[in-house]
Amino acid sequence: MNFTGLSKLFSVFGIIKKSGGLRASLYKMFRMDELKVGTLMGTDKYGNKYYENNRFFFARNRWIEYAPYYRLEYDGSQVPAEWFGWLHYKTDLTPDQDPGRPKYKWMLDHTENLSGTPRQYVPYSTTKQKIEPWKPCSHKFLIIATRFSHQQAGYTHFGFATVKDYEKQQRVNKVFDEVAQSYDLMNDLMSFGIHRVWKDIFVDRLAPPPGTKLLDVAGGTGDIAFRYLNYLKLKQPDPNSHVTVLDINKTMLDVGKYRCDALGHDPSLITFREGNAEELPYENDLFDAYTIVFGIRNCTRIEKVVDEAYRVLKPGGRFLCMEFSEVSNTTLQWIYDQYSFQVIPLLGQLVVGQWHPYQYLVESIRRFPNQDHFKSIIERSGFRQVVYENLSSGIVAIHSAFKL
């Protein structure tokens, strides 16, 4: 397997070494939320260091490491004017290469007025702030408001970023092209293998009877489809049973086909097909059950996906979705956030040599509607008997509904 190639391992060790060792690397990761090395272009009067590495994409190939003196209290105002232009690609010349700067008075060092005269500027009272700190709105209101504004303007979210509708699918495809070969391995590492238990519970809740025709959407590598076939094999084999695995990403489907052959499943019982969950290539009232696991949050229009599920299900058909959700315990939520944002991207960098696909996956989890909001989306599509079940204190939730 090439995903753990020695070259990537040596590259990781090289980055850790250049960052000053393991302890220094962890400290750097904690302060900067990323770990990368480049050429030191200079140091400003505050002690901030400026780096460049043209192997990275534009807009990520220049960065600043704030001086430890400022600890976690740094912000953009601590970037001197002479370095601002270089850092934001207004010039390729560093201040030492451009002696003509600063060119304007406002670029000169500011001297605080401590004269005690009326000309001294006092920004706010020493007893009461005039500028109150911003307080975020509630999770539920934020999702409703952002979705409404995005739909009106043709925008959606890609993780924490806002992108146009047509861009999201392109970016999601790129993410899964990069992670396809190591998708199942990373699932084991990121969840400590718990995702296998969740998926086993999911198939048990589905409890498909013999002869069930299942559509597994966003099921690329076949995890749910293979569990479905194993479940029927143990309960009561039926040649009329069939599962269709539909995924928009061809690379993921290729991995699923390879695994299907390797596991020795009967190819007549399973079909792999490339397709879009928002525009299913099937006629109405065709399937007995519809499943989608850890995939619906990657779709551009969640409501459209649920509408399509309702359309292709037979009357009496079952809709079952498992997705990451809102954790009910505040202490666990804090631990989960720290692990998700600090550890998972680093794990992706160490194992796969890519951190940004896993940064997106973590961000997409936080942007997905909570349990009650997603339940209301399912109900609006026409489903009945809509319920959800939390697993692991709400880290994931199984949503169940019927077309009646």
Name the residue among 59, 13, 9 with its Cα closest to residue 37: 13
Cα angle at 216 between 215 and 218, to 5 degrees? Answer: 135
262 annotated ligand-binding residue? no
247 annotated ligand-binding residue? yes
Instruction: Report DSSP letters for 206-275, one per residue.
Output: H-PPTT-EEEEET-TT-HHHHHHHHHHHHH---TT-EEEEEES-HHHHHHHHHHHHHHT--GGGEEEEE-
Spatial separation of the C-alpha atoms in residues 105 and 94, rounded to whole Å: 19
Q: How many CB atoms lie within 10 A of CB 373?
A: 16
Spatial separation of the C-alpha atoms in residues 222 and 242, rounded to whole Å: 13
Q: List the beta bridge partners of residue 402.
A: 318, 384
309 annotated ligand-binding residue? no
The DSSP output letter for 387 is E
Return the H-helix or E-strand segment holding 319: strand 313-324
Find out whether 245 and 223 touch, Cβ atoms under 8 Å. no
Q: How many CB atoms lie within 10 A of CB 226?
A: 22
Residue ranges for the known binding site for S-adenosyl-L-methionine are 221, 247, 276-277
Question: Residues annotated in the binding site, as ranges?
Answer: 221, 247, 276-277
